[in-house]
């Protein structure tokens, strides 16, 4: 009895020591560290051949890995490299060519400008085109392809053509044709862009797609606000004969003409040398193409 109780005690102590030691290891090594990601198989066909009959489960696993990789790079990685994103999405869609979500989200992950996404617009559109080829009856994929052509490539004419194709498919919403017409008429217009993203926001079922559309709409709001502020700053410069020294002086002289922060609450940056406002680099709404 004594011996067995002693053995049980040793076992309990050993088991209890494991989380304690792990906590020490975590303290020594730091909290989360982004792992060095490695992809051992670069071809979906190879993965398929190695797992006959289990292609779908492998596609699911690669899809989960894609989502985790994208999220991990976006949130934890300092340099936000998305090198493995395209091969991961390609392997996923090769293993399961009917996995619609992988095309839709994969294209967003790839196409959104860095640092929100990988900034690989051409690859995003190519992925969607492959998706449309594999799922020819999906109006959603064609709608997304049209919207991504317009948003990522600035190809209003191509986008309109794809939206018109989507409109002919069963269960396609009535407004696709109207949107296509608007794109043909005013492709470079911010209002048209707002219309595209509003439609996307209204009809998306999946929270991340809705969220992405919302970010685009908030960015358009921020751009409108920045334009209003810059126009006011120009007026003020004409009156003062110099540029306002900082945002505080701007507000004290004119009062807030437009909100001084973007819809996410991040204050706009004021560039005293140019007398202009811009979306802050700290904001999720900032894009590398924004000029100061």
Partner 1 sequence: MVARGSGLARIGAVARNTFRETVRERVLYNLVFFAILMTVSGLLLNRLSIRQDEKIVKDLGLAAMEVFGLLIAVFIGVGLVGKEIERRSLYPLLAKPLGRTEFLLGKFAGLALTLLVNVSVMTLGLYATLLATGRRADPLLLKAVFPIYLSLLLTVCVALFFSTVTSHTLAAILTAGVVVAGRFSDVVRNMNEVLPGAPGWLTRVLYYMMPNFQNFDFKNQVVYGDPVLTATLAWVTLYALAYGAFLLALAAAVFRSREL
User: Residues in the site for partner 1, rule: CB under 8 A?
Assistant: 49, 52-57, 60, 63-64, 67-68, 96, 98-99, 101, 105, 205-206, 208
Q: Which is nearer to partner 1, 37 or 60 (CB)?
A: 60
**Separation between Cα atoms, residue 258 and residue 251, nearest integer Å:** 10
Provide the sign of the torsion angle of the four alpha carbons 108, 111, 112, 118, taken in this order. Answer: positive
User: Phi and psi (nearest 5°) for 246?
Assistant: -155, 175
State in angstroms the smallest separation of the CB of 198 from partner 1. Answer: 22
Q: Which is nearer to partner 1, 112 or 262 (CB)?
A: 112
- DSSP for residue 114: T
The tokens for 110 are 């790839």
Q: Which is nearer to partner 1, 99 or 164 (CB)?
A: 99
State in angstroms the smallest separation of the CB of 22 from partner 1. Answer: 21
State in angstroms the smallest separation of the CB of 138 from partner 1. Answer: 12
Q: Which is nearer to partner 1, 65 or 194 (CB)?
A: 65
**CA 145 from chain center: how many Å?**
15
- DSSP for residue 98: T
CA atoms within 13 A on the CB side of 123: 21
State in angstroms the smallest separation of the CB of 110 from partner 1. Answer: 15
Question: CA nearest 99: which of 138, 69, 68, 125?
Answer: 138
Q: Cβ atoms within 10 A of the Cβ of 51, count?
A: 15
State in angstroms the smallest separation of the CB of 100 from partner 1. Answer: 10
**Separation between Cα atoms, residue 86 and residue 211, nearest integer Å:** 22
Element (H, E) at 276: strand 276-278
**Separation between Cα atoms, residue 217 and residue 204, nearest integer Å:** 14
Q: Which is nearer to partner 1, 22 or 56 (CB)?
A: 56
Q: Which is nearer to partner 1, 51 or 198 (CB)?
A: 51
State in angstroms the smallest separation of the CB of 102 from partner 1. Answer: 9
**Separation between Cα atoms, residue 102 and residue 86, nearest integer Å:** 11
State in angstroms the smallest separation of the CB of 289 from partner 1. Answer: 27
Q: Which is nearer to partner 1, 53 or 288 (CB)?
A: 53
């Amino acid at each position: 009895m004594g011996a067995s109780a002693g053995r049980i005690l040793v076992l309990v102590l050993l088991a209890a020591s494991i989380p304690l030691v792990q906590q020490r290891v975590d303290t020594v090594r730091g909290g989360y560290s982004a792992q060095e990601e490695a992809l051992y198989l670069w071809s979906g066909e190879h993965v398929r051949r190695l797992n006959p009959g289990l292609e779908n489960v492998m596609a699911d696993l690669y899809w989960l890995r894609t989502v985790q990789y994208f999220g991990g790079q976006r949130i934890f990685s300092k340099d936000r490299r998305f090198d493995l994103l395209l091969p991961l999405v390609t392997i996923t869609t090769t293993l399961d060519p009917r996995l619609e979500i992988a095309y839709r989200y994969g294209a967003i992950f790839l196409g959104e400008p860095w640092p929100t996404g990988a900034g690989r617009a051409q690859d995003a559109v190519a992925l969607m085109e492959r998706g449309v080829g594999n799922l020819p009856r999906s109006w959603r994929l064609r709608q997304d392809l049209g919207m991504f052509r317009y948003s990522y490539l600035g190809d209003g004419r191509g986008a309109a053509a794809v939206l018109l194709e989507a409109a002919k498919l069963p269960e396609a919403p009535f407004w696709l044709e109207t949107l296509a017409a608007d794109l043909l008429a005013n492709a470079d217009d911010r209002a048209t862009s707002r219309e595209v993203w509003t439609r996307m926001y209204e009809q998306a079922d999946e929270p991340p797609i809705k969220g992405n559309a919302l970010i685009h709409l908030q960015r358009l709001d921020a751009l409108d606000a920045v334009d209003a502020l810059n126009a006011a700053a120009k007026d003020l410069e004409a009156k003062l004969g110099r540029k306002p020294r900082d945002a505080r002086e701007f507000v004290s002289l004119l009062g807030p003409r437009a909100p001084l922060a973007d819809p996410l609450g991040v204050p706009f940056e004021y560039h005293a040398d140019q007398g202009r406002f811009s979306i802050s680099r700290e904001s999720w709404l900032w894009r590398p193409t924004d000029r100061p």
